[in-house]
Structure 1
Amino acid sequence: MFILLVILHVIVCLFLIGVVLIQQGKSADLAGAFGGQGSQTAFGPRGAANLLTRLTTWSAIIFMLTSIALTVVMSRTSSNRSVLSNLPSQSTPAKK
């Protein structure tokens, strides 16, 4: 199950990066290049969400859920695992 979650998480990460980079930002037209806002309000026009906005929202939700699931799975399976547990312990006292 852990491997399946990691694979799903990586796919969602790559998909989310792609969808966000494809989207057109606010004032991406020619008027926005010169500082003009045109007829936009203070927070931009509020229209119906297009397909890219919905894909971004759902992929962000799936990303958060897989992140939480991976955290829960790792916390339950890794009892007393640490990066430092494999280091040899030093039993010799320091010299004065």
Structure 2
Amino acid sequence: MGFLAFLLLGLIAGAIAKLILPGRQGGGWIATLILGVIGALLGGWIGGMVASVNMNEFFSLASWIWAIIGSLVVLVIWGFITNRRSSTV
């Protein structure tokens, strides 16, 4: 998968993860892109380890599912970090 396709996958996966998670997560499109790309990397790594998924194809359903799962994990971790930081201030 090319670099721009991977960025697009991360952006869309991050946006879908934000829609799935309840509550209000901070950040705009740039934060969504960054968290989505990190989540897509994490999801690809987890998918490769658990289910032997190859994240080389943009239109692969497995790529999208694991990218969204990874983005959800990253958003949950991000939520814990930002909630702890805002509650201590």
TM-score of the two chains, using structure 1 as the length reference: 0.33
Point out the structure with max Rg over C-alpha: 1
Richer in helix (by share): 2
User: Which of structures 1 and 2 has the larger relative contact order (alpha carbons within 8 angstroms, sep 6+)?
Assistant: 1
